[in-house]
Amino acid sequence: MPTFHASTSGALTAPCHDGTLVDFRTLVLRYCVATHALTRGRSIARPDLQDAVADIIEGLPMNDTNNPNVQGYTLIRSPEALRERYPLSQQAVDRIQSYRDTVKRILGGDDHRLLVVVGPCSLHDTEAALDYAKRLAALSAAVSDTLFIVMRAYFEKPRTTVGWKGLINDPHMDGSFAVEEGLEKARSLLVELSELGLPLATEALDPIATQYIQDCISWTAIGARTTESQTHREMASGLPSPIGFKNGTDGGFTVAINALQAISHAHSYLNIAPNGQVAIVRSNGNCGHIVLRGGNGKPNYDAESVAAAEQALAKASMPADLMVDCSHANSSKDPANQPVVLEDVVKQIEQGNRSIMGVMIESNINWGAQPLTCDLSALEYGVSITDGCIDWSTTEKCLYDMADRLKGILPARQRHA
């Protein structure tokens, strides 16, 4: 019979065979699971324990009688359990680490290539996502001497008011908010994409959802609405991938620069551990850069705006590392303007700019965007259901042209000289 101890937090704990302490509630649940399995005439293996626990408690509502504004809680699998269900191969793990290191070398000026984060505004169709990824992988290989291409794999969408919140939050696109299914769908797709040998980028919006997928990610964005958030800055300081902070929705640089300074330091903050338990996370700090995306209906990709961003970074004693987002306010949310923005950026580099280290492009198989309606069968294949995107043929043309024009310029460019 185990001996129970009261911890300093007041929780009851019991020692495991290896000396670690387990919360009493977890221990009781494990005994219940084992008993449940034995009464059905089967034993339960230790690696299957978390899945068995999740299967039993999945969908079980937990009520908070002290909060009339909450209907209840539904327990879901831990990040660790989902990673075990959809694991990365060791080859993929090694490649992802090398991709992150490449991004860091680009930031440091040790890799001359331009970082290109390109792909759908959001992913809602796994078949189309894999189709796009295979096309992008082939294109990436063809321009790899000049461009380091990372595919957008965005599963969460920030909303000013309301709207579809992305595949993680609403995988059925019907307002049912089957978040656990969304997490499974997102992770299984990321694992498939990772096996194609393509670096992946995402936006970290929910600090908990992020824990389920970050091991697949090579570059992470923090959006304009959350760049100023202390919670997101703390989280970003502990993520394994380099960070791109969007400038604020007003188009200013200050909040993004403050965010860069914040994540460069160690932080202690609340989040969840891999086993799903609430924990204090102690980060080491992280590296990142600004993403110029325009704001207040005005662009900030032009040479004058880029120079202003460089001056603001210099004043804060931060390196001049800038990515230009060809979409959002820089394109007035019109995909036809994205090639125009990209052309301007390429010209700036041709004319001697040294601070622009990357670009972001919203691209899909087919052009534009379509509304999300109740009839999902009516959705057009390869068309965004969020922001409008350029199509694949335009993407190919833009990237091949950019690579051709910059292949003799980037190797000689001394970004941090």
Q: Taking 70 as the threshold, does the pLDDT of residue 181 lie above it? A: yes
pLDDT band at 184 (very low <50, low <70, confident <90, very high): very high
pLDDT band at 1 (very low <50, low <70, confident <90, very high): very low
How many Cα atoms are found within 13 Å in the side-chain-facing hemisphere of 42? 7
The angle subtended at Cα 415 by Cα 413 and Cα 417, nearest 5°, is 100
The predicted structure's pLDDT at residue 297: 87
CB 76 within 8 A of CB 208: no
Walk me through the domains of the chain, giving residue ranges and CATH numbers.
Answer: 5-75 (no CATH), 85-412 (3.20.20.70)
What's the mean per-residue pLDDT of the chain?
89
Q: Taking 90 as the threshold, does the pLDDT of residue 60 lie above it? A: no
**How confident is the model over 351-404, as pLDDT tens digits?**
999 999 999 999 999 999 999 998 999 999 999 999 999 999 999 999 999 999
| Percent over 70 (pLDDT), the chain | 83
pLDDT band at 66 (very low <50, low <70, confident <90, very high): confident
Q: Taking 90 as the threshold, does the pLDDT of residue 43 lie above it? A: no
The predicted structure's pLDDT at residue 52: 56
Token pair for 339: 């090639």
- d(CA 33, CA 247) in angstroms, rounded, equals 49
| Percent over 90 (pLDDT), the chain | 79
pLDDT band at 163 (very low <50, low <70, confident <90, very high): confident
Which residue from 317, 406, 294 is spatially nearest to 353, judged by alpha carbons? 406
Q: Taking 50 as the threshold, does the pLDDT of residue 44 lie above it? A: no
Q: How far is CA 23 from CA 27, 133, 181, 190, in A?
A: 6, 43, 27, 32
pLDDT band at 301 (very low <50, low <70, confident <90, very high): very high
Q: Taking 60 as the threshold, does the pLDDT of residue 187 lie above it? A: yes
pLDDT band at 151 (very low <50, low <70, confident <90, very high): very high
Q: Taking 60 as the threshold, does the pLDDT of residue 26 lie above it? A: no
Q: Taking 80 as the threshold, does the pLDDT of residue 223 lie above it? A: yes
**How confident is the model over 281-290, as pLDDT tens digits?**
999 999 999 9
Higher pLDDT, 153 or 22: 153
**Segment holding 243, helix H or strand E:** strand 243-246
The predicted structure's pLDDT at residue 71: 87
Phi, psi of 291 (to 5 degrees): -115, 115
Higher pLDDT, 362 or 47: 362
What b/e sequence results for 111-146 when a residue is b if at least 16 CB atoms lie within 10 Å of its CB, and e otherwise? bbbbbbbbbbbbbbbbebbeebbeebeebbeebeeb
CA 145 to chain centre: 25
pTM (2 d.p.)? 0.86
- DSSP-derived secondary structure letter, 3: P
- The average pLDDT across 6-20 equals 45
- d(CA 417, CA 109) in angstroms, rounded, equals 9
Q: Which residue has the tokens 């603001």?
A: 312
Task: Report the range out of 52-56, 57-61, 94-98, 222-226 with the highest average pLDDT.
Answer: 94-98
What amino acid occupies position 214?
Answer: Q
